[in-house]
Amino acid sequence: MKNNILSCKFNIDTACVEVKLTDGSMVSIDCIAVENEYANNMYETSEFDFLICNEPINYVEMLLSGKIES
C-alpha cells in the first residue's frame, strides 16, 4: 500500500489524516473516530497520537492494511 501513497499529512483543523493516492483519489481518515473504535485505554490513544503526528504514513498503512485490529 505504501507505493500507492503520494502524500500523507495530519490536518489539525479537521483532526483527520489526509492521504493522496497515486490514482488521484484522496482519503480523509477521521482520527477521533479511529481512536474511539480501537483504543481501549489512554496508552493506546497515546500510541495513535504519536503515529499521527510523527509517522502519519505508518498510521495510514496500519489502517488500510487491517493491522490495527491485531
- Indicate if the pLDDT at residue 66 is higher than 70: yes
Identify the architecture of domain 2-69 in CATH.
2-Layer Sandwich (3.30)
Residue 1 is predicted with a pLDDT of 54
Secondary structure class of 25 (helix, strand, coil): coil
Distance CA 26, CA 4 (A): 11
Q: Which residues contact 45 (CB under 8 A, 6 or more apart)?
A: 35, 39
Residue 67 is predicted with a pLDDT of 80
pLDDT, tens digit, for every residue of 1-54? Answer: 567 899 999 999 999 999 999 999 999 999 999 999 999 999 999 999 999 999
